[in-house]
Structure 1
Amino acid sequence: MKNITRDTDKRLMSGAGKALALSLSALALTTTAYTVIPRAAVAQDYAFSSVVVEGNTRVGSDTILSYAGIVRGQPISAAALNDAYQRIVASGLFESVEIVPGGNRLAIKVTEFPMVSRVNIEGNRTIDDAALGSLIRTSERRVFSPSVAEADAAAITEAYAAKGQLIATVTPQIIRRSGNRVDVVFDVTEGKGVEVERLSFVGNRSFSDARLRRVLATKQAGLLRFIVGRDTYDEERIGFDKRVLTDFYTSRGYVDFSVLSANAEFSRERNAHFVTFSVREGQSYDFANTTIVSQIDGVDAADYQRAMNLRAGQTYSPVAIENVISRIEKMAQDKGVDFVRVEPRVTRHERDLTLDVEFVLSKGPRVFVERIDIEGNATTLDRIVRRQFRIVEGDPFNPREIREAASRIRALNFFSNADVNAREGSSADQVVVDVNVDEAPTGSFSFGANYSVSDNVNLVASFSERNFLGRGQTVSADLTTKLDDGTLRFNFVEPAFLGRDVALGFGIGLASTQPSYALHTTRTAYVTPSLTFPVSERGRLRLDYRFDLSEMVLPSGTASSSLPSIVEDDYDLGRQSTQSVGYTYSFDTRRNGLNPDAGVLLSFGQEFAGLGGDVKYVKSTAEVRGQMKVFNDQVTLLGVIEGGAISSSDGTMVNDRFFNSSDVIRGFEPGGIGPRDGATDTALGGNFYAVARVEAQFPLGLPEEYGIKGGVFLDHGAVWGLDDETGIEAGSADRTFRTVAGASIFWITPIGPLRFNFSKALDKQDFDKEQSFDLTISTEF
């Protein structure tokens, strides 16, 4: 915090050691002392022919007399004189007040509170000036008030308490200036934050303490306590933790789960909290029979049976129930049936721990949306918030749709807070939807470095804005560079092109890359627009076009004859242009599937080059990725099967073929397997690749707050195939599968995620290039 410029000499500051410490108490004392009528004359009445005001400079005498309510010449009692004094003091304008009667003359002597010339906050490091300044009411060019200053100090103290620094103190001090002015300084002594030393649970049998701690936003203080901010105690965060615990259990079938209490106790030294959650788990239930019944004339329940995607034996989840209700309501709207209310009636079978669910269709009240009011969006345009609603003014009111719209607004991550509430409109059958949001920062700039064993160190600078000009658009640019190559990319995404659920993307970039396995450098300039839109509840399709210009460049003084013959042929072609169109279909249940412990991603795409330009090929890729948590969520199992193929009537070029990397098969260098030139031992890439990877991640028994866990993996795959195998290392272009086993250490740190891979090739060829250790780190400064 900037120090106040003190234009008084040091004698004033040395005196401040005594005077400033007593300043507020002195002000308070002076307002309680005034000259009164002698005690013997308390019952006497007075009449003053003259009433004068002394000591006022800013406040007019008439204003002070109006506060006093004393009229010249009229009798006034001692009690009324005291009331006059109290009214003047209550105005809050005066540091001291005296009422001095003398014969027929009454003198009202006042000392006005000084004006505030400057306000500063000093000693604050955890919370910045702007945040604290918004909490205080003391401001420049206004009358100083001790009570307001004390209230401001209390507000600052509460802000620190919310961040876990319960022993922070704030002392308001004043520095007197000439002209009845003062500087106000809020002196902050932050102290040390009160940490959460231990997070424990009582009543949990199905899930361990370590697993439940990973659910909570609050974290135990650990090795990285000097960086991690969530290990301080925050009562509001504890309330949030109760909700996420409930969501965690109910999504896994525990219908009777509840958080009985969340108690926080101070340590003996009062520098740490011990937080204990007492829970009641109950039993986990599965779905049994699910049926649909209609109580609406002319509506056949059988027509809605296909909305039922619950199966017997599936673990109960309120999300699954909500999804069925949403599907039924959507089908009803499509059929022109409004005001349908879907009520799930659950029958519990305690013996086999199953639930029968009957969805009853009935007519709800005829209520319409009168209007949608949006407030608080200083930057974001109204239409960005409004398009998160599937309804407009005049549509039937659906409470579920309002809740889903609220979730979509929060999912934008444009706002720090978003409240969506419905209230009665101009009549009983009209509803007004109020949306109140608080804007949050949506832009970021970072500068740092990427490191890997194969690529060494790259400097990285990036900029991104997720809500460009408040239009909900994403703009990003990044630069990656090292001594001999680099990339520069710019991307733009409009998520609602023409007001539809269609994302329009546009990318442009320049790249100069030299892989570690190649002698040549490839320079490329490209532009690629795309459209992405949903084709099913969890399926999306992306259509894209790409135009690029590329050329191969050799280091100065290097002859093309030093290249492998197949690469030299590509080099001799010079600059090549490529125009391609493609599509990618993806089906993803990882985030919105019904099973919180499992998810699947299916992806298939093709790229067709040759509609224009110099290069022709057809490239196809496919991927199946699955994830499952077992052993009460302690172990995460991952499996991936992927592959690709490229073909061309003119023969594929080296820059278009598939090369091995750590993302394909671990345990080998980039380009370490697959077709190789027999003379130069240079990787040439393959027309085909296929790989299966399985992995298990698990805790190592270390404290959860350290963010360290272990893993084991097994990769099995190959890169193979060339159009012309002349001069190729014997057997390198064959479809020979390699097998690699390894172990990993994962460390999630505040400066980025680290992964250490230790691997051993179990099945390999003599010409393969192994890499038994790999480290990847991403750091931002």
Structure 2
Amino acid sequence: MEHKHIWRARALGDLKHNVCGLRQLGFAALVAASFALPDSAEAQNYSFNSVAVEGNQRVDAATIVTYAGIARGETVSAGDLNEAYQRILDSGLFEKVEIVPQGNRLIIQVTEFPTINRIAFEGNRKIKDDDLADFIDSTSRQVFSPTKAERDAATITEAYAQNGRVSARVTPKVIRRSDNRVDLVFEIFEGRKIEVNRIGFVGNRAYSDRRLRRAIQSKQAGLLRALIEADTFVEDRIEFDKQVLTDFYNARGYVDFRVTGTNAELAQERDGYFVTFNVQEGQQFSFGEITTVSDIPEADAEEYQSVSRIRPGQTYSPSLVEKSIARMERLAIRNGVDFLRVEPRITRNDRDLTLDIEFALVRGERVFVERIDIEGNTTTLDRVIRRQFELAEGDPFNPREIREAAERIRALNYFEDTDVNAREGSRPDQVVVDVNVEEKTTGSLTFGASYSTNSGVGISVGFSERNFLGRGQQLTAAIAASENNVNYNFSFVEPAFLGRDVAFGLDFALLETDDDFSQFDTVDGVFRPSLTFPVSENGRLSLYYQAGYQDISNYVGQSGVLTAESNLGEQWTSSIGYNYTFDTRRDGLDPNSGVLLSFGQRFAGVGGDRDYIETTARLVAQTMVLNEEVTLRATLEAGSLHFMNGQSSRAVERYSNQIMRGFEPNGIGPIEGNEHLGGDSYAVAKFEAEFPLGLPDEYGISGGAFYDVGGIWGVDATNATSPVASRSFKARHVAGVSLFWESPFGPLRFNWSTALQKEPGDIDQAFDLTVRTDF
């Protein structure tokens, strides 16, 4: 029985005797009363003129009589009395129940369960008290329930198991207090985290174990991770990894792939698991013939076929089919064709390993969205979630749009869990979309310290919030200061300006330098509001206004160019500009390749002191080869400043070396004497490869090689007092190797480089350490 189960727990031993013993006493009293009657016929039947309840304090006597179910004057048997006893006990309100027949009078004696005075947790260090309190159902000032306490203990144990502590034990214990009260204490033995010592795969031929381990969420715990960020075994994560593997292979054309089984074996020392995925890859398929047919008169098949990006011979991917369906359905909305549905009909050709796709345009059910219900968002405003839907109340219902909206909500990264479902509404032709979310922390406060030989000791303070005031806005503020430099940064983004798919941005930055290692002091401030919006599926355009302030002072060098520029003093810049980006990294046709194109211009002279045009362009392409073991990346980048009305650039406006590896930040370009001036133009081509080093995956270490070629040139030498070198383009060549480390402090990159070709006065750099960024 449930009560006996919980009283067996060691922590509740003080109540075990009472509950079990009193059950026996209640039943014994009933049996004794039945044998005291004169004959067997009378012993089996009772009739009571009155029913009395004794011992109750909180529960009304009438309620207890109702539980018993025995009416006055009703003839009942011994079995009926036993059932009445059981019903009262099963109510969960009483610690002890005793039924005593006394002639024509029935006495029900009860001892109520105590109330909970307080709830405490002992032995927990990894999960806080407040978090544990959210897991359990028992609360203070409520009636104590042994069954509920045992259930709460199991819930806490499961929470620890999800944290990787499968050996955790939780024991509920009660401590008696006055006035029929108890303290409920959960004694917790957390145990150790059980790590995943090894993840292996059986049956994989197309992709190595190393590549598949990078795809799944579970990670191995090795030497470095055991010290810093050891991973743990979580059974639910293994189940999720099975789906991840299926999606990974399906996206690469392996339509028959399946995980035939998983095996998680506990190590002999019981301190880790060996996890093995048994997989069956099958054959890789490509797209065959792509056609479109229409059952709807107003939908022309050729028009809808034209928006599909799939081409015969491409590796098959379900995501490409889904994207083509989405494009066709969006075209139907633009054309005013309601309830159009696209059904992909797939014909398999095993001989040539192709899949023919026929997109059938059919009329779907006439179902409308009645409403969208949102629950669980304690911080995030409803409108932030609602704007992720392209449909609204009253629109035709589209299941694909619901799935895409769910993905967009998850991509916000505001919620720990997101569940989006559709159910039937008030009528058969209407549906209600239910959105249930669970909030998570979206802000951070950072403190840092640094030291360099140039700037001395530095400190930094930063605040970042991705969901400011629950409005979906991004707010970032940071201050970094050292002995000679101060840098202020502020950024704000409203992603849905005026309720549209337009991002409004506001950026402010101010940099003040007073560096003994520099020939002059500078002040450089920028204020820039901007609007960014989509212009195509993969393209976005940003329009902005930029106000700038620059000052060069206290110049102590010998350069005539820099002397003339410092004499100009404070200068204000007022400009407008645009920047176009085209990005296929998420929505491209090839999951292993991506392209990022950026082109922009800024026109200064809309007021202010400066009059010039700045043009920049950047193209990055990336692909993975050798069964996705090696990543190849190429970058082409260029920029140019063109001054007008007799003006020329200043050092704070020109390009210094932030473009290529192997040289100091201001180590190449035009030079007067021994002072680098920077340049009005730059161009660089970078080529690099990233590859495994054969080290265990859990170390997070990989290698790379790179080759850069480029240069900085162009400067007005009118005021030069000595010859200026490298005024025209002179290519520098650099080669080197890299070490990538996914460290606990963030992704780091170590570069060792050699300048294969340089110019006199260039300052090369054999080693540098940077924070790795994705292209």
Q: Determine if the TM-score, normalized by the shorter chain, exceeds 0.5.
A: yes
Q: Which moved more, 1:228-237 or 1:460-469?
A: 228-237
Q: Cα deviation per residue 1:192-217 (whole Å; 9 max; x = unaligned)?
A: 12222221111110000110011111
Counting only pairs closer than 5 Å after superposition, residues 162-177 of structure 1 correspond to structure 2 as: 162-177=162-177
Matches within 5 A, 1:133-212: 133-212=133-212
Confirm whether residue 760 of structure 1 aligns to residue 760 of structure 2: no
| SS of alignment partner, residue 676 of structure 2 | coil
Distance change in 2, residues 1:525/1:673 (3 Å): closer
Summarize the alignment of residues 18-33 of structure 1 with structure 2, pairs less than 5 Å apart: 22-33=13-24
Matched, 1:647 2:642: yes
| Partner deviation per Cα, 1:34-55 (whole Å, 9 max, x = no partner) | 1514384485256677765444
Write the distance in 2 (CA, Å) between the matches of 1:538 and 1:200. 37
Q: Which moved more, 1:115-124 or 1:50-59?
A: 50-59
User: What TM-score, normalized to structure 2?
Assistant: 0.91
Q: 2-side partners of 1:121 and 1:402: how far apart?
A: 42
Aligned AA (2:19): A
Q: Hey, what does 1:328 align to over in structure 2? A: 328
Equivalent position of 2:653 in the other structure: 656
Secondary structure of residue in 2 paired with 1:304: helix
Classify the secondary structure of the residue corresponding to 1:134. helix
Q: 1:237 & 1:516 partners in 2: Cα distance?
A: 54
Q: How does 1:405-484 map to 2 (within 5 A)?
A: 405-449=405-449, 458-484=458-484
Which residue does 1:585 correspond to in 2?
580
Cα displacement (A) at 1:706: 1.0
Q: Distance in 1 between matches of 2:721 and 2:288?
A: 65
Partner residue of 1:487?
A: 487
Secondary structure at the residue paired with 1:705? helix
Q: Which amino acid aligns with 1:375?
A: E
Equivalent position amino acid for 2:748 in 1: L
C-alpha separation in 1, matches of 2:699 and 2:226: 12
Q: Kindly state the Cα deviation for residue 577 of structure 1 after the two structures are TM-superposed.
A: 1.0
Match for residue 4 of structure 2?
none
> Does residue 377 of structure 1 match 2:377?
yes
Q: Structure 1 residues 626 and 451, CA, compared in 2 at 3 Å: closer, same or farther?
A: farther
Moved more, 461-470 or 363-372: 363-372
Where 2:605 maps in the other structure, the secondary structure is strand
- Residue 13 of structure 1 is matched in structure 2 by none
SS of corresponding position for 1:711: strand
Q: 1:59 to 1:627 in 2, by over 3 A?
A: same
Task: Tell me the number of residue pairs that the alignment of Structure 1 and Structure 2 aligns.
Answer: 753
Task: Report what 2:606 is aligned to.
Answer: 611
Name the CA distance, whole Å, in 1 between partners of 2:229 and 2:127.
13
Is it true that 1:270 corresponds to 2:270 in the alignment?
yes
* Gap runs ≥5 in structure 2: 1-8
Give how far 1:391 is off.
Answer: 2.0
Counterpart residue number, 1:683: 676
| Code of the aligned partner of 2:751 | N
CA distance in 2, matches of 1:518, 1:509: 21
1:205-260 alpha-carbon deviations (Å, 9 max, x no partner): 00001100111111112124447767322222122211211111111111221222
Aligned counterpart for 2:713 among listed residues 707, 720, 726 = 720
The whole-number CA distance in structure 2 between the counterparts of 1:116 and 1:337 is: 63
Give yes or no for contact 1:504–1:532 (8 Å, CA) kept in 2: yes
How has the CA–CA distance of structure 1 residues 716 and 454 changed in structure 2, closer, same or farther, with 3 Å as cutoff? farther
Q: What amino acid does structure 1 have at the position aligned with 2:655?
A: F
Query: C-alpha displacement at 1:74, in angstroms?
Result: 6.9
Quote the Cα distance in structure 1 between the aligned partners of 2:453 and 2:337.
Answer: 62
Which position in structure 1 is the counterpart of 2:361? 361
The 3 A distance-change label for structure 1 pair 87 and 424 is closer
Match of 2:552 in 1: 552
The residue type paired with residue 737 of structure 1 is A
Instruction: Kindly state the Cα deviation for residue 456 of structure 1 after the two structures are TM-superposed.
Output: 7.6
**What is the alpha-carbon distance in structure 2 between the residues aligned to residue 385 and residue 777 of structure 1?**
33
1:86 equivalenced with 2:83 (yes/no): no
Q: Which residue pairs with 2:594 in the alignment?
A: 599
In 1, distance between residues paired with 2:651 and 2:516? 14
In structure 2, C-alpha distance between the alignment counterparts of 1:585 and 1:523, rounded to whole Å: 29
Aligned to 1:776: 770
Matched with 2:687 is 694
Aligned to 1:504: 504
Q: Which residue of 2 aligns with 1:571?
A: 566
* Aligned counterparts, 1:243-262, within 5 A: 243-262=243-262
Mark the CA change 1:305 to 1:368 in structure 2 (over 3 Å): closer, same or farther.
Answer: same
Partner amino acid for 2:165?
A: Q
Q: List runs of 5+ in structure 1 lacking aligned partners.
A: 1-17, 555-559
The CA deviation string for residues 483-540 of structure 1, in whole angstroms up to 9 with x for no partner, is 2112112211111112221111111233213579632222233321001111111111
* Aligned equivalent of 1:707: 700
Contact 1:420–1:433 (8 Å) recurs in 2: yes
How far did 1:266 drift? 2.3
Judge conservation of contact 1:753–1:777 (CA < 8 Å) in 2: yes
Q: What letter is aligned with 2:486?
A: G
**d(CA) in 1 for partners of 2:18, 2:219:** 45
- 111-120 vs 711-720, which deviates more? 111-120
SS of the equivalent of 2:675 reads: coil
Residue 777 of structure 1: how far off its partner (Å): 5.2
How many angstroms does 1:660 deviate by? 0.3
The CA distance in 2 between the partners of 1:258 and 1:348, in whole Å, is: 18
Deviations 1:150-186 (A, max 9, x none): 1111111111122221110001112222222211110
Deviation at residue 368 of structure 1 after TM alignment: 2.6
Give the C-alpha shift of residue 712 in structure 1.
0.7
Alignment CA distance shift 1:59-1:433 (3 Å): closer
Amino acid at match of 1:654: A
Per-residue deviation, residues 272-319 of structure 1 (Å, max 9, x unmatched): 222221111111122233222223325432223421322232211111
Q: Which residue of 2 aligns with 1:672?
A: 667
Q: Which amino acid aligns with 2:758?
A: K
Most deviating of 131-140 and 97-106: 97-106
**Contact 2:442–2:465 (CA<8 Å) still a contact in 1?**
yes
1:634 match: 629
| Structure 2 counterparts to residues 26-175 of structure 1, below 5 A | 26-34=17-25, 35-36=28-29, 37-38=31-32, 40-41=35-36, 43=40, 44=43, 53-69=53-69, 77-100=77-100, 108-175=108-175
Q: Which amino acid aligns with 2:212?
A: L
TM-superposition CA deviations, 1:463-487 (whole Å, max 9, x none): 1222222222111111222221121
The 3 A distance-change label for structure 1 pair 51 and 597 is: closer
